[in-house]
Structure 1
Amino acid sequence: MTDRIWEYEGYRPAEERLRESLCTLGNGCFATRGALPECAADGTHYPGTYVAGCYNRLTSAVAGRRVENEDLVNLPNWLPLRFRLTGRQWLTPDTATVLAHRQVLRLEAGLLERRTRYGLGGGGTLTVRQQRLVHMADPHLAALRTEFTAEGFTGELEVEAALDGGVRNAGVPRYRDLDGRHLTHVHTGTAVPGTVWLRCRTRTSDIRVGMAARLTAEAPVTDLHEPPRAVQRLTLAVSPGRAATVDKTIALHTSRDPAISDPLQAAVDRVGAAPGFDELLESHLTAWDLLWRRAELEVPGEAGRILRLHLFHVLQTLSPHTADLDVGVPARGLHGEAYRGHVFWDELFVLPYLNLHFPEVSRALLLYRHRRLERARAAARAIGRRGALYPWQSGSDGREETQRLHLNPRSGRWLPDHTHLQRHVGSAVAYNVWQYCEAAGDAEFLHTKGAEMLLQIARFWADSARWDESLKRHRILGVMGPDEYHDAYPGAAWPGIDDNAYTNVTAAWVLTRALEALRALPEPRRRELAERTGLDAGELEQWEAVSRTLHVPFHDGVVSQFEGYGDLAELDWDGYRKRYDDLRRLDRILESEGDTVNRYKASKQADVLMLGYLFSPAELPSLFARLGHRLEEDTWRRTVDYYLGRTSHGSTLSGLVHGWILARARRAEAWAFCQEALRGDIADLQGGTTGEGVHLGAMAGTLDLVQRGLTGLETRAGALWLDPVPLPELSSSGYGFALRYQGHWGVRLRLEHALLEIAVPSSDRLPIDVRLPGRAVCVQPGETARLVLPG
């Protein structure tokens, strides 16, 4: 296996769901799982096609209650293409003899290849070779080429291709008690000989879907209609030594697409105008080559190979085509149905990478949040607050999509879900606004939509803070932190915990940045914004006060995850490790035993330590100082050690954050956590979850670990700040990447041993100011700076 391909040898039914997710092909507008075209959805296989932002809402009866959920819709399956010898059963790996099977994902080409050799009995074999693409240049096209080669026999092969509208959302076992039939009004027809179409619509969101398929072969094609399927059949003559080829080209449109009238007519027109497979492949390869150039990454060894796979899936979910859409960052990509395709806070881990390569995509993802600002303000008003309250889970229109019940598969019980109390999403949105504007130099966005979001998020935090006379500090009560385990105090009658350190510190940061942004606005714009929002000097004084007095609890010489954390019981970690092989979902284990994780000092993932992920070692102490606390290096080191021993790492983000923090602290165990972050999806470390969709935040986060974490790269005050840390597993061989910074395209950074090289391509842009500890350099366009690092 090279660093440019991802390969699977042999057919293993138990691994199919994982392979299907990791072999998904997409272009930022839609994606299709890497399922075998001859296999229907069953316990082994799950074909799925998902369009970015295509949601539908259904109500189901669960545990005696009516529960409403919005899902990313599994759209009609365009893959079906099955085959058999005349008069015999259809050939699939589950029903026929498989002599050889190989699946190859070509990352540089965005191409999925498979080769299967079926044994037919009597010494005859049939080799099936397929190439599949979801077009990166034209985001509404996909194509499948199938070649059949006979050995040891001559005969006829029946081939059936279809567009299947009889699909449902059934890719996540714990959701199967919920209604998953999102499509209705499925109709099929023939456009011209050899081309069929399918149209349908979603049941409640009323999104119209049009799909058309063109089948090309050296045999006449017969069109049949077996609603909800549009079927095409042909008979091929096969003989030894000669491959018979069938090409299937499809077009997909929805009524959410710009610049079309009717999605069905648009699909029919597009597939009719599409060139043949070879020409489609050529333009597809060109588009991918341009993407790889903009996202150049040079990391040696196994780590580099996995990072390229991660980059591939990030680009397939969030490509330059995404910049034209009204979509957010789906936590599980466009690769499956876990989390119902919802948008959480994963953009916090994704945008810092995109900012320095595809800033136009970052801007579009922030516009998704801005368009839902009024919905966020309505959510704040609903709980008696001013400002904007962004939801923990978002979908089509920005309302809170977090389910009120969730299933514990271990106990079989449906339990209350309080994760909507994770109100720190607003801080993540504000952080992303600030980071994007610093990296892209987009003053126009900061002065307009960015300032509007910062203002309303800051207003929410200021209005949420309650003055505690005994503490002489402001407090934020009744929330949940990123940990996700603790949703209430032991024995409490209501959910929520108080003064989550991550929530309070990031709220103080938001208030500070909002004040800074307002001061930097041109005076006419500042006056306009103040008049539109009712902002006055008294409110700004309140923000200043709250930003300096939010309570941050401590216990035993460390930062407390929340007020009262130090009073919780210690968990018998060794005892539980002896009883259970995997403690990642410790909350489910304890609930199945009639206990609750709320009683214990145990975290699912980084919570307090997220502060060390967001803020540099120089910035974090200054944040605490503004709040009236001294965060000494020794205090932070003790805090890291304290939570490191009390975390179950039940999220793929946990290894990433811990690896980042430990690398910055120059700790030997950093690489073990980095490896866990790298292997999270490819090894399915969460136990079956990758088959339901990749973990996009963790994938993008590993890329950013190389880009910012190990280099100490920051974009602030109009300069690139660098403070590299040695990670022997990478530094010894060196690593490098290209980035886009404030209008400079293709700035290249490379680190090897103690040498840092920065190359700025020729342009008419201003030089780049580079700041390192104790010195500053100015790199002119067309120049390369080589700097020896201390130590």
Structure 2
Amino acid sequence: MTDEVWQYEGYEPAQERVRESLCTLGNGYFATRGAAPECTADAVHYPGTYAAGCYNRLTSTVAGREVENEDLVNLPNWLPLRFRTDGGTWFTPDGTELLSHCQSLDLRAGVLERESRYTDVAGRTLRVRQLRLVHMADPHLAALRTEFTAEGWSGELEVESALDATVSNTGVERYRALNSLHLTDTEAGAANPDTIWLRCRTTASDLRIGMAARIATPEAAIEVCNEEWRAVQRFRLRLRPGHSATVDKTVALHTSHDPAIADPLGAAVDRVSHAPDFPTLLDTHRMAWQHLWQKAELTVPGDAGRILRLHLFHVLQTLSPHTADLDVGVPARGLHGEAYRGHVFWDELFVLPYLNLHFPEVSRALLTYRHRRLGAARDAARAVGRAGAMYPWQSGSDGREETQEMHLNPRSGRWLPDHSRLQHHVGSAVAYNVWRYWEASGDTDFLHTKGADMLLEIAQFWADSATYDESLRRYRIRGVVGPDEYHDAYPDAKEPGLDDNAYTNVTAAWVLERALELLRTLPEPCRRELAERTGLDTDAPARWEDISRELYVPFHSGVISQFKGYEELAALDWERYRARYGDIRRLDRILEAEGDTVNRYQASKQADVLMLGHLFSPGELRGLFARLGHPLDDEIWSRTVDYYLRRTSHGSTLSGLVHGWVLARAKRADAWEYVQEALKGDVADLQGGTTGEGIHLGAMAGTLDLVQRGLTGLETRGGALWLDPVPLPELSEYGFTIRYRGHWGVRLHMRPGRLSVRVPDSDRAPIDIELPGRTVSVAPGESCELALPHHWQPRSS
């Protein structure tokens, strides 16, 4: 295994689904899991193909209730290519003697290579080598090259290639009690013996899908043998010792979401018919990946660098430049599996800050996805008696709330009410991304139009959610759930929701402050038009000013309280639970299976209060608390960090990331443990089986942003790049390239005690670099090298 190649030696059925997720190939339009083409879905394997934004809605009966769920649809499987000798059983890793197996993911080229050696019942050895790609230049194409080699024997090999619509959404075990058959009206056909096709549609969303496959193989007569739900080709290859017979399968996929087509099937058949041969496809695919890597160049030595490149690979193939042409959001588990049903959460909060500095056009498109669903967010706010816009915790096709009403605890087998839709802080995440995108890109046109619409509507929602408490002389936001998710109600409460979640209130205050800043800077005609568009009354700014300064943030014992009353909860015997269960990341499930509830305890699933240290630099966070009338010095923050470190089970892959980020500045000696947890979350499947259901895109992008912004202190504000590096001994040297306000390829390189910045030659203005205590201007075509303090000190502003 090298920095550029992710390799698995040997076949391990228990690890197969994790490997299939991590070896997924995609291009931003669609992705296919890394399953072996000769395998069908079973307890070991799960081939899956998913197109961005392709959802369908089904109704299921759960615990005596009818519930509706929308899922990212598992599309027809284009991979099937199976083979056998002398009419025997089809070769599979599980049913035939497998002599050797190696699978390699070439990150630089975006190619999955696999080599296996099988022995048949007659003792003859067959070597199979495959190359697979999902084309990064043409987002509708994929290709599979298979080379068969007979080792020391001659004979015929029967091969079957298919497009298979006998698929369902069964990739997540805890969802299997739900309806999973999303495809209907399947029809198979052939344009000619070389080219077969399949069409179908989704049952409710009426998404039409067209898929076509072209086979190219020497000296083989191809027979079309279509079946119900499957388009099938069969042929025989004559094998000779030491000579390889090659089969190339090229596939095209279109859906009725695509622009500039008359019919998905016709478009797929036409595209595959005109597609070049495999070597040409491979060359153009590699070139497209080369261009991507140039824009997202990252140099980090050692094992951390190797994992970071894998993370970057999966971010790029989930949210590529092709995504900029689509109406899609950030799927929390990528296009790699069916966990979370392919929904869009707040995970974009961890993804867009990275994309802003490399692919701002993709960030703009992802924010436009939110803007197109602003009407649904307004409707949701009205439904609960609020003004403004209330974005859903889980979003899918049309912007309605997609959060499940019930969730299954696999430990107890019980279906339980799900109150996570009360995580209204997702609105603050949308607003945060709007503002950070503008700071990084300088896209004032977006900020003053779509961005302003969202920012002001979210501000209106927070202002209308805040009620004044005379006894506290503060505004309060009640009945919410914070990022911690373990706590969705007070012990023995009849209604769900918590009061005065610190993260929710502080970010709401930040949103209101940014909305006021925007209103002050808008030209008068724009301000009037915006007020008419959003229904903003003339008294709103004054009320926002008051609320943004007087929202209640609870404290106890000199630390920030996660929510009002957190300190009154019972202490948990952490050692007893660790001794009994070992892995207690999902402590909520453990306690519920015991007939208890985590709502009773001072125990958090993931970073909640500490998320504030992830979103805001030390100086900005102090400023926010000062505006709210609370001091926040290093001592208070350090006590707060220590307090929640002892009370967090890290039941989310995002938790290690946030803790590593925060500890790098607050408690540096402990930071690396959590950084490693974030790096290894998926590659080591630390959450115990979740990676096989899809990668954690937010955590992957977050580790990239940890290097890009967390350790450098990089901020884009006031028309300058602000840097406040923090030395982390285990990650002391690294470099990366960013795109900043029209400057392509700004290169930053960190090493102990030194920072170098190189700005590529252009006709643009110099870049101002703000460091603690000094400002440096770097002109295009110039470089500068700066000495850094031996001991990092927090910036005071």
Q: How far 1:120 moved relative to its partner?
A: 2.3
Name the residue aligned to 1:37.
37
Q: Residue deviations 1:698-755, cap 9 Å, x none?
A: 0000000000000000000100000000011111xx2000000000000000011111
Name the residue aligned to 1:112.
112
Name the residue aligned to 1:578.
579
Q: How far 1:537 moved relative to its partner?
A: 2.7
Name the residue aligned to 2:426.
425
Q: Secondary structure at the match of 2:368?
A: helix
What is the root-mean-square deviation in Å for CA atoms of aligned residues? 0.6
Q: Distance in 2 between matches of 1:87 and 1:326?
A: 47
The answer to whether the 8 A contact 1:666-1:726 is kept is no
Q: Distance in 2 between matches of 1:533 and 1:42?
A: 51
The answer to whether the 8 A contact 1:158-1:234 is kept is yes
The answer to whether the 8 A contact 1:666-1:725 is kept is no
Name the residue aligned to 2:749.
750
Q: How far 1:220 moved relative to its partner?
A: 1.5
Q: Which moved more, 1:188-197 or 1:139-148?
A: 188-197
Name the residue aligned to 2:325.
324
Q: Distance in 2 between matches of 1:535 and 1:108?
A: 50
Q: Secondary structure at the match of 1:225?
A: coil
Q: How far 1:122 moved relative to its partner?
A: 4.8
Name the residue aligned to 2:775.
776
Q: How far 1:72 moved relative to its partner?
A: 0.1
Name the residue aligned to 2:232.
231
Name the residue aligned to 1:739.
738
Q: Distance in 1 between matches of 2:435 and 2:256?
A: 33
Q: Which amino acid aligns with 1:176?
A: R
Name the residue aligned to 2:166.
166
Name the residue aligned to 1:510.
511
Q: Distance in 2 between matches of 1:285 and 1:220?
A: 32
Q: Distance in 2 between matches of 1:38 and 1:497?
A: 51
Q: Secondary structure at the match of 2:247?
A: strand
Q: Distance in 2 between matches of 1:455 and 1:22?
A: 40
Q: Secondary structure at the match of 1:250?
A: strand
Q: How far 1:258 moved relative to its partner?
A: 1.1
Name the residue aligned to 2:71.
71
Q: Which amino acid aligns with 2:741?
A: Q
Asked if 1:153 is matched to 2:147, the reply is: no
Q: Secondary structure at the match of 1:634?
A: helix
Aligned residue runs from structure 1 range 30-429, under 5 A: 30-218=30-218, 219-429=220-430
Q: Which amino acid aligns with 1:660?
A: W
Structure 1 consecutive aligned stretches of length 4 or more whose deviation exceeds 6 Å: none
Q: Secondary structure at the match of 2:225?
A: strand
Q: Secondary structure at the match of 2:618?
A: coil
Name the residue aligned to 2:714.
713
Asked if 1:760 is matched to 2:768, the reply is: no
Q: How far 1:166 moved relative to its partner?
A: 1.1
Q: How far 1:639 moved relative to its partner?
A: 0.1
Q: Distance in 2 between matches of 1:87 and 1:71?
A: 39
Q: Distance in 2 between matches of 1:269 and 1:747?
A: 42
The answer to whether the 8 A contact 2:152-2:242 is kept is no
Q: Which amino acid aligns with 2:156?
A: E
Q: Distance in 2 between matches of 1:429 and 1:554?
A: 27
Q: Distance in 2 between matches of 1:320 and 1:125?
A: 44
Q: How far 1:227 moved relative to its partner?
A: 1.5
Tell me the TM-score normalized by structure 1: 0.99
Q: Secondary structure at the match of 2:367?
A: helix
Q: How far 1:536 moved relative to its partner?
A: 2.8
Q: Which amino acid aligns with 1:620?
A: L
Q: Secondary structure at the match of 2:577?
A: helix
Name the residue aligned to 2:788.
789
Q: How far 1:123 moved relative to its partner?
A: 4.5
Q: Distance in 2 between matches of 1:247 and 1:606?
A: 48
Q: Distance in 1 between matches of 2:122 and 2:539?
A: 89
Q: How far 1:121 moved relative to its partner?
A: 4.7
Q: Distance in 2 between matches of 1:632 and 1:754?
A: 26
Q: Distance in 2 between matches of 1:754 and 1:730?
A: 13
- Give the aligned length: 789
Q: Residue deviations 1:306-338, cap 9 Å, x none?
A: 000000000010000000000000000000000
Q: How far 1:192 moved relative to its partner?
A: 2.2
Name the residue aligned to 1:596.
597
Name the residue aligned to 2:541.
540
Q: Distance in 2 between matches of 1:115 and 1:159?
A: 17
Q: Distance in 2 between matches of 1:790 and 1:677?
A: 28
Q: Secondary structure at the match of 1:91?
A: coil
Q: Distance in 2 between matches of 1:720 and 1:522?
A: 26
Asked if 1:687 is matched to 2:691, the reply is: no
Q: How far 1:253 moved relative to its partner?
A: 0.2
The answer to whether the 8 A contact 2:668-2:728 is kept is no
Q: Secondary structure at the match of 1:669?
A: helix
The answer to whether the 8 A contact 1:664-1:709 is kept is no
Q: Which amino acid aligns with 2:608?
A: D
Q: Distance in 1 between matches of 2:262 and 2:275?
A: 19
Name the residue aligned to 2:560.
559
Q: Distance in 1 between matches of 2:189 and 2:613?
A: 58
Name the residue aligned to 2:793.
none
Q: Residue deviations 1:619-653, cap 9 Å, x none?
A: 10110010010011100000000000000000000
Q: Secondary structure at the match of 1:376?
A: helix
Q: Distance in 1 between matches of 2:366 and 2:533?
A: 24
Q: Distance in 2 between matches of 1:667 and 1:769?
A: 29
Q: Distance in 2 between matches of 1:590 and 1:556?
A: 27
Q: Which moved more, 1:24-33 or 1:219-228?
A: 219-228
Q: Secondary structure at the match of 2:226?
A: strand
The answer to whether the 8 A contact 2:19-2:692 is kept is yes
Gaps of 5+ in 1: none
Tell me the TM-score normalized by structure 2: 0.99
Aligned residue runs from structure 1 range 660-699, under 5 A: 660-699=661-700
Name the residue aligned to 1:569.
570
The answer to whether the 8 A contact 1:362-1:436 is kept is yes
Q: Secondary structure at the match of 1:92?
A: coil
Name the residue aligned to 1:486.
487
The answer to whether the 8 A contact 2:85-2:120 is kept is no
Q: Distance in 1 between matches of 2:183 and 2:122?
A: 45
Q: Distance in 2 between matches of 1:87 and 1:368?
A: 52
Q: Residue deviations 1:384-443, cap 9 Å, x none?
A: 000000000000000000010000000000000000000000000000000000000101
The answer to whether the 8 A contact 1:512-1:547 is kept is yes
Q: How far 1:665 moved relative to its partner?
A: 2.1
Name the residue aligned to 1:729.
730
Q: How far 1:523 moved relative to its partner?
A: 1.5
Q: Distance in 1 between matches of 2:295 and 2:326?
A: 21
Q: Distance in 1 between matches of 2:381 and 2:10?
A: 54
Q: Distance in 1 between matches of 2:87 and 2:55?
A: 42
Q: Residue deviations 1:440-480, cap 9 Å, x none?
A: 01010011110110000000000000100000000000000
The answer to whether the 8 A contact 2:3-2:309 is kept is yes
Identity percentage of aligned residues = 74
Asked if 1:639 is matched to 2:629, the reply is: no
Q: Distance in 1 between matches of 2:152 and 2:87?
A: 18
Aligned residue runs from structure 1 range 456-471, under 5 A: 456-471=457-472
Q: How far 1:190 moved relative to its partner?
A: 0.7
Q: Secondary structure at the match of 2:777?
A: strand
Q: How far 1:239 moved relative to its partner?
A: 1.4
Q: Secondary structure at the match of 2:539?
A: helix
Q: How far 1:666 moved relative to its partner?
A: 4.9
Q: Which amino acid aligns with 2:448?
A: H
Q: Distance in 1 between matches of 2:346 and 2:87?
A: 54
Q: How far 1:61 moved relative to its partner?
A: 0.8
Q: Secondary structure at the match of 1:370?
A: helix
Q: How far 1:529 moved relative to its partner?
A: 1.0
Q: Distance in 2 between matches of 1:605 and 1:478?
A: 20
Q: Distance in 1 between matches of 2:720 and 2:143?
A: 45
Asked if 1:606 is matched to 2:607, the reply is: yes
Gaps of 5+ in 2: 791-797
The answer to whether the 8 A contact 1:655-1:676 is kept is yes
